[in-house]
């Protein structure tokens, strides 16, 4: 799976949220200043070329929808981060984020409890 640029990821976040949308609906989800129509249209076509998005023709326009699940992309991105910066060590990554984000032991325990609940 290819990596996305920041702009592509922002558009994907909107599509994952909306499930289906035309370019105008995608733009509506952005806060001001909103991106230009042509910019979003180009990004959506790039996402289609990369295999993240597909479309269906509706009238004279297109409605786009994600074909890559958000969870699949998130998992791949986390794995790339883990392997690229922490030599595949999850404990090193957690330790780094605890130190850099001032996570205390109580917060870590809450995170672990949430993980246990989801299993």
Q: Give me the pLDDT at residue 17, please.
A: 98
Mean pLDDT per 10-residue segment, the chain (119 residues): 93 98 98 96 98 96 97 92 91 85 84 83
Same domain, 18 and 50: yes
Within a domain: residue 86?
A: yes
Predicted pLDDT at 108 = 82
Tally of structural domains, the chain: 2
* pLDDT at residue number 107: 86
Residues 16 and 51 in one domain: yes
- Boundaries of domain holding 90: 70-118
* Radius of gyration of the chain from its Cα atoms, rounded to whole angstroms: 18
Nearest to 23 by CA among 58, 51, 49, 71: 58
1 lies in some domain: no
In a domain, 16, yes or no: yes
Residues 53 and 84 in one domain: no
What does residue 98 show for φ and ψ, rounded to 5 degrees? -65, -45
Is there a single domain that holds both residue 60 and residue 102? no
Q: Which residues pair with 53 in a beta bridge?
A: 66
44 domain-assigned: yes
Instruction: Decide: pTM greater than 0.85.
Output: no
Give the per-residue pLDDT at 97: 82
Do 53 and 100 share a domain, yes or no? no
């Amino acid at each position: 799976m290819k990596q996305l640029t920041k702009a592509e990821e922002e558009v994907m976040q909107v599509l994952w949220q909306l499930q289906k949308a035309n370019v105008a609906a995608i733009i509506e989800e952005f806060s001001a200043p909103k991106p230009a129509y042509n910019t979003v249209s180009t990004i959506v076509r790039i996402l289609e070329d990369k295999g993240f998005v597909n479309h269906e023709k509706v009238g004279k326009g297109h409605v786009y929808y994600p074909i890559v699940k958000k969870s699949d992309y998130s998992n791949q991105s986390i794995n790339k981060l883990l392997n690229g910066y922490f030599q595949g060590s999850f404990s090193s990554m957690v330790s780094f984020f605890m130190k850099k984000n001032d996570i205390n032991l109580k917060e870590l325990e809450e995170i672990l409890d949430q993980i246990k609940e989801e299993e």
